[in-house]
Each structure stands twice: as C-alpha cells, then as structure tokens.
Amino acid sequence: MIRSDAPVLLEIRGLKASVEDQPILHGVDLTIRAGEIHAVMGRNGSGKSTLSKVLAGHPAYTVTDGAVLYRGEDLLGLEPEQRARIGLFLGFQYPVEIPGVSNLEFLRVATNARRAELGHDELDTFAFEDLVRERLAVVQMDPAFLERSVNEGFSGGEKKRNEILQMALLEPLVAILDETDSGLDIDALRIVAGGVNQLASPDNATLLITHYQRLLDLITPDHVHVMAAGRILRSGGPELALELERTGYEWVDQELAVAGVS
C-alpha cells in the first residue's frame, strides 16, 4: 500500500560498505515508508545479503560512506541488539543453529528485550508460552519445535518458519526478509507468505529479498528494485518483477557494461 504521506521508516542514502577491505555496496539509495512492501531482486552475489547484514549491524561489514536513517534517526551508530529492540528485523537467508540453547528460551529472551524497549512488562515463562502458542499459528508450526535447540536439526523450511515466528513475536516496524522463500516447497511457501501478509500492516514495512517471482505471486510488492554489483540499478512497480521473470537478467549485464562496471 503506497501512501505518499505515510511516515518514512527507513531511508538509505548513498550507502557504501565493504567486507575484509573488499567494497561490496557501491552506493545504495532506498526509501521505505510505513505500509509499503518492497522487493529487492538480483542475481547471486549482487550484494543483497550484504545490504541486509549492514542494516542489521553485522560487525564483519564496514560502512565506508552514506547514511541510514530509521524513523529519521541514525541507525548505523547503534549496536545490532539496539536496532532489533527499536523494531528492525532481519530474517536470515541462513538461520544459525545454536546447539544447547532452547528455542523457547531464546524466543522469550528476545521477545522480552523488544517489550522492554516498548515499555511493556516482561513475560514470565507461563505468559510467554501462551503468547508463543498463539503466534505459532501464524506459521502453522508444530509446538515441538519450541522444545528443541535453536534451529538445530531443523529442515530448511522449518528454519524459515522459525524466522517468521520470531518476526511474529517481535512485531518489527521494518522487516527485512532475506530469501525467506529459498528452500521452501510450495506448501511451506504458501504458509510463510501467508504469515508475512498477515503481519503486514499500515504501520510497518517489509523488504523482501528474493530472486524468484514465485514469492511475489503470493506477496504483492508495492516497489521492486533490481540490484546488481552493489547498486540498485532500476526501481519500479510489480511489473518490473514480471519483466525480469520474462526476460531474465541479461539486460542487467548490458546496463552494467554500458555503465562500465563489469
């Protein structure tokens, strides 16, 4: 849903970033308003995950230029945990397995960290179990996964559902979902997409990173951006994704060649 008067939640300006002294992002500009769903598409290696990690504050990535404002305030100076608490969420392309740490306890601690920031009471184990059972429905997840260690031994699809469960509990204002569709069969894809649609509201925004149209058949984006070689090469509406589906990424290479990038 596009409303030009909706407040800007995330504003990325001229963002450049590198990892191990290797420049990856070469100036990314992107503005996301409340109520919007954006899709960032692009080939493997174009810098999509790097963008998401930089936004979430991964210490391995260094911002070399540009700015990111979250609700008008500097985001890049904040620790990753603080970014999460004020409502930024990253759904990982590869969720991390943490043996020995109970999923339920992890979800509770994370939820309480967010709640404390919002001025809500801490939930004890009993109150939290009620909440988590309710939110499990969003992704139709088996409660048995709460008793296991975080993501340990989960299938690809189960890990992605666990990511959306976290999103459902943390109620972020800006959710960045990095290839949440990859590794999902069609049923799981429907469930996950349904969860994302259910959580989208006029007050929050979603940034979907994907390289398939099939996710966008289920979640209609307001804006589509094509990323290549660490930049956003072109932006448009949902039709841009359909065009990509038809024509592939060949034209991207041509445009990059014209621009003298690769």
Ligand X SMILES: Nc1ncnc2c1ncn2[C@@H]1O[C@H](COP(=O)(O)OP(=O)(O)O)[C@@H](O)[C@H]1O
Contact with other proteins (CB under 8 A) among 16, 85, 159, 223: 85
The reply to whether 52 sits near Mg ion by the rule CB under 5 A is no
| Residue 24 vs 173, nearer CB to ligand X | 24
Q: Strands, E, within the chain: which ranges?
A: 8-19, 22-33, 37-41, 61-70, 73-74, 88-91, 98-102, 149-150, 174-178, 205-209, 223-228, 231-236
CB nearer Mg ion, residue 48 or residue 85 = 48
Interaction of residue 92 with other proteins, rule CB under 8 A: yes
Does 180 sit near Mg ion (CB under 5 A)?
A: no
d(CA 156, CA 256): 33
Binding site for ligand X (CB under 6 A): 19-20, 24, 42, 44-50, 60
Is 114 a binder of other proteins (CB under 8 A)? yes
Q: Which does 156 bind (CB under 5 to 8 A by kind): ligand X, other proteins, Mg ion, none?
A: none
CB of 49 to ligand X, least distance (A): 3
Beta bridge partners of 33: 8
- Is there binding between residue 145 and other proteins (CB under 8 A)? no
Q: Which residues make Cβ contacts (< 8 Å) with residue 189, sequence separation at least 6?
A: 181, 214, 215, 218
Residue 122's contacts (CB-CB under 8 Å, 6 or more residues apart) are 112, 115, 116
With binding defined as CB under 5 A, does residue 210 bind Mg ion?
no
**Closest among 171, 168, 57 to 114, alpha carbons compared:** 171
One DSSP character per residue, 160-191 reads: HHHHHHHHHHH--SEEEEESTTTT--HHHHHH
Give the nearest distance from C-beta 116 to Mg ion in angstroms. Answer: 31
- Considering the rule CB under 5 A, would residue 50 count as an interface residue with Mg ion? no
Q: Return residues touching other proteins (CB under 8 A).
A: 56-60, 79-81, 83-85, 90, 92, 95-96, 98-101, 105-106, 109-110, 113-114, 117, 149-150, 166, 170
